[in-house]
Structures are given as structure tokens and as C-alpha cells.
Amino acid sequence: MKKIITFFLLVLLLLAGGCGEKTTKKNMEYKAVCPAGMEFWAVGSNGEMAEISMEGNVKSINTGVKEQLNDIEFVDGKALIVGENGTVIFRDSKGKFKEIETGYTGDLYTEVHFQNTYFAGGEDGLLASKDGKKWERKLKGNTIISMAASENVCVAISEKGRIWYTEDGSQWTKLDYNQYYDKNVKFKEVIFGGENFYLTGVEEGKTVLLTSTGGTVWSERPLDMLEGEMHDLTSLEFTNLVWTGNEAVAGCKSGELLVLPGCTECNKLQKTEMKTISKLGYCGGYFLLQDKDGKIRVQESASSRQYKISAKTAYEENRKGTVLVDVRTDEEYNEKHIKGSVHIPLSEIEKLEETYPEKGTPIIFYCAKGTRSQTAVEKALAMGYSNVFCMGKLEEWPEKLEGN
């Protein structure tokens, strides 16, 4: 009898031990991240989708499919999702998923919403739809890996250096970048931000960054300066780019963020708490970072902003209408100042609100060496201004200064 009781006790202990075990599912690897209101939406392998709050809380969503999902875009409370084997899914504003039959069987890598039309690109050209139900094929025989759109132009790229652009979504013009510019760049991604398209690629193991305003003419953006000093940034391997509303930011596989402002001399490299970055997202003042092991981190983007601007770039921006504010003393200003600049001494910086009540006004502060202008930026940010910069040395201004 004792043996029987002992046997049953052992069985119970084993069962109890089994019930206490927890199987930890491997973190989802994000293939794409997009802003959705005040949270992130992400998609990845096995048809997985996730909603991530600004606090870093993750809610897994069942899309109803098993294929890998490669891209997602949030539009008017709804989402278009594309993936392997021609997968196209719509998520309506109530959170209901519906897989759409398009007849396209190749993998889809990218999608964009342009002029009230959805476009999805993949192994065999594009799919286009006005309502998300009826789709037509475009650019057959071409592999499209990434797309982006401004209000007036949509751009699609292939890995082999080909670019297509359209102004109406119907007629597409092809540009073979490598052939035209005699290059051998392997394209990776294109995004749009501010006034420019940004296109990343790799040539002979070095990172290349191209920019264009309309998709027709492309120029290589220098990656040879860091905070005003010579520095080779082409060895950094980009995972992807995001636009923060003020500047482009690249997630780097080394775990760093490379801030790419309009000033090409003012690039800023910021370390993060991640050892690697496999995907970067941006939404409402926050970055979402994921490492190669699937771990995520959500952090504020304010510390990554680059507020410094070179005299050369400040000069170009001023010619476009950006305000220049001199924060030196009356005596210094009267002795010499930049033509057309507004004088508001640092000690009276609160007058900025009287002169420029619109908090989104682009403003560049300057002083003699850059110290007081940096303080002016900090005070302006505290007052709610969002588009402010500080210039370096006044003596580097390209034109002759005015004064007594």
C-alpha cells in the first residue's frame, strides 16, 4: 500500500512540476513598423501583428494568416498589410482583418498610399487599387523592394539600382541610376520626409545615401562629417530610415542612431541602450527600437535631435525665409550683425513669443561662438517652440556683416 501511495505522490509532484513550467515564445521579429495614432503597429513572421504603446507594452494581434508580413501602413484609421505569397490584408477601423484575393502570387515587400490609391510592390511589379478590393498590375517583370510618396510624386525602387516615379499613379518613368551615373549601388530603401526623398544603398561595402526632391534627379548626400568634424560614416550599416518631422534618422546595426539633419556637416551619432538595432520606428516624439534578438525599447526622440547648424546651411535656410535671431548684447549687435537678422538679447528671450507667436516658426539663433545661441534654443524649446536651431561662429557667415 505504501508503494502505491508513494507512486501516486511522485506522479502528482511530476504533474505539479509540469504545470509550473512556462514556455516563452520567441519575440516577434518586426519586418515593418508604422505610426498609428499614438502607438506603433508592427508586422512580422507567421502573420503576426503587434500594437506597441509608448510605454513599451506589446499587444499581439492575430491577423488570420500564416505568411510572413513585410510591410504595413496606417491610413485614416485603417491599415494595409502585405507579405509573402501575394498576401494582402486590410484591417478596418473596427480592428477586423480581411485577406484580399488579388491574383498576385509572388512575395510583396512594400506598399504606399498615394493620391487615394494603394500601391503594393513585390517580385513581379506593382499592384494598384482605389478601394482595396479591385486590383490591377503595373510594371510587370520588375522587382520592387521599397516605395515612398510625397503629395505630388510616388517613387519605387529595385535592388539593382532602378528607380520609377510617377505624378499621377498611372504613367511611370524609369531611371536606371547605376547606368546613368556610372555607379554600382545596391539599393535598400526609400522614404520621404520634409522636402526630400532619401534612398539608402550599399556600394563596395560602403553605405550610400541619395536624396531627391522630385524623384527625377538624385544626388549623393555626404557622409563624411560628424558634429562639424571629419568622420567617415559610410562604414555604418543602416537597418532603415525614419523621418521625425525635422530630420531623417538611421537605425544602425551597431546599436546607434545616426541623425541626418539638413546641415550635412552636423550629423550626430547617438548611442542607445541596444547592442544592435534590427528595426527602427518613429511615432509622435518616440522611437521604437528592436534588436536582433527581438527585444524592444521605446524611448523619447528629443535627446536625438540635432539643433546645431553650420553657418553655410544657416545662410541657405535664411535665403529660403528662415528667421535669424541675434541673441547678443546691444553693443555687440550694433558693432556688427547679419543683414536682416532680428535682435532679441538672450536676457530678453521671452520677447520671442511677442515677435513670433507661432511656435512652429523656423528660427536660427546665433551669437559670437555658439554658447548663448545654444542656451536660446533650450529656452525656446521650454517655451514650446519646435523648429529652432543654433548656429556656430558668427565669423563663418558667408556674407559681409553690417554694423557701425
| Catalytic residue ranges | 367
- 16/2 Cα distance (integer angstroms): 21
> Any idea how long the chain is?
404
Contact between 285 and 242 under an 8 Å Cβ cutoff? The reply is no
* Cβ count within 10 A of residue 45: 17
User: What string of DSSP letters covers 373-402?
Assistant: HHHHHHHHHHTT--SEEEE--GGG-SSPPB
Contact between 189 and 158 under an 8 Å Cβ cutoff? The reply is no
The pairing of beta strand 186-193 with beta strand 196-203: antiparallel
- 162/179 Cα distance (integer angstroms): 9
Which set of grid coordinates corresponds to residue 73? Answer: 501602413
Helix (H) or strand (E) holding 91: strand 88-91
Dihedral sign, CA of 28, 31, 35, 37?
negative
Closest CA to 283 of 306, 301, 265, 263: 301
Contact between 397 and 311 under an 8 Å Cβ cutoff? The reply is yes
- 318/397 Cα distance (integer angstroms): 11
- 326/89 Cα distance (integer angstroms): 54
Span between the terminal Cα atoms of the chain, in Å:
111
User: What string of DSSP letters covers 57-77?
Assistant: -EEEEE-S--SPEEEEEEETT
**Percent of the chain that is helix, strand, coil (3-state, to 5):** 20, 40, 40
Q: Determine the longest span between alpha carbons in the chain, in angstroms.
A: 111
Q: Side chain identity at 143, as an amino acid letter? A: T
Closest CA to 327 of 295, 356, 361, 369: 369
